[in-house]
Amino acid sequence: MVLKFRAFKATHDPETCKNFLKGHVSVLEDYGITNITTNNNLWMDMDCVWGVVAETEDGEMVGGIRVQLADGIHPLPVEKAVGYMDPTLYDMVKQFIPEGVGELCALWNAKKVAGMGISILLTRAGIAITNQIKCKTLMGICGGYTLKMFKKVGFVIDNTLGNGGEFIYPNEEYIAWVLGILNAKELETAEDYDRERMLSLRNTPVQEFTEPSKNNEVVEIKYNLLIPIKSTGNE
């Protein structure tokens, strides 16, 4: 399979935003989840939101991820999700704003590419673009089913928050962990291979790479992770 990964800025590409939200909502509904804090359209008009989408060669969007930079105006999704359970989270974000702090959020992939390992590829790509938006510290919130993957790319559980890092979210059936990459620039907490791939994507944002797949299917990714200055549609 051949997929195209491309970066975008929310306020410059409304069509991509609409398709992103449609795909994300569809995946969440499949799991019976409706109260995720990233599951809304408010981010589309924020000047502090960027993302990466995965598309087939004929332009069908099959996955995506977003990065939201804290701007002191719009709360990060993690603040909205669990901040009321532990208000020290607000202070933590505020402390890091001057040097650039953001959140990796809204990761999803369509059923047609399930089991192919697209999630970790999107996660790496999302982290890779943070150098273009001056984000030094990256946060996130994840469930148990993605915790191992997030650790691979360098996220660490912040045990000072919640109950040893744990929060009941998005409902009583789930436990989520608030995570952080202490240095989104050096990525020293990532596993060697993941760090190598992320730095490669950062140094060469336009590249083609054959990625190994979980189900033994070869996936060729055509990356274009340069964030456009203006909307270029789906070109």
CATH number, position 190:
3.40.630.30
Higher pLDDT, 222 or 229: 222
Is the peptide bond between 228 and the residue preceding it cis, with omega within 30 degrees of 0? no
Average pLDDT value for the chain: 91
Nearest to 157 by CA among 170, 139, 175, 169: 139
State the CB neighbour count (10 A cutoff) for residue 125. 26
Q: What's the confidence (pLDDT) of residue 235? A: 45
pLDDT digits (tens, 9 = 90+) for 138-185: 999 998 889 999 999 999 999 999 999 999 988 888 889 999 988 898
Asked whether residue 234 is assigned to any structural domain, the reply reads: no
Indicate whether 194 belongs to any domain. Answer: yes
Round to the nearest angstrom and report the end-to-end CA distance of the chain.
19
* Domain span holding position 121: 2-224
Structure confidence at residue 165 (pLDDT)? 92
Structure confidence at residue 39 as a pLDDT band (50, 70, 90): low
Lowest mean pLDDT among 35-39, 210-214, 222-226: 35-39
Answer whether residue 140 is part of any domain. Answer: yes
Domain count, the chain: 1
Question: Which pLDDT score is estimated for 171?
Answer: 80
**Per-residue pLDDT, 163:** 93
The answer to whether residue 231 sits within a structural domain is: no
Tokens of 224: 């274009």
> What pLDDT, on a 0 to 100 scale, did the predictor assign at position 32?
67
Let me know if residue 103 belongs to a domain: yes
The pTM of this model reads 0.92
Convert the pLDDT of each residue in 51-83 to its tens digit: 999 999 999 999 999 999 999 999 999 999 999
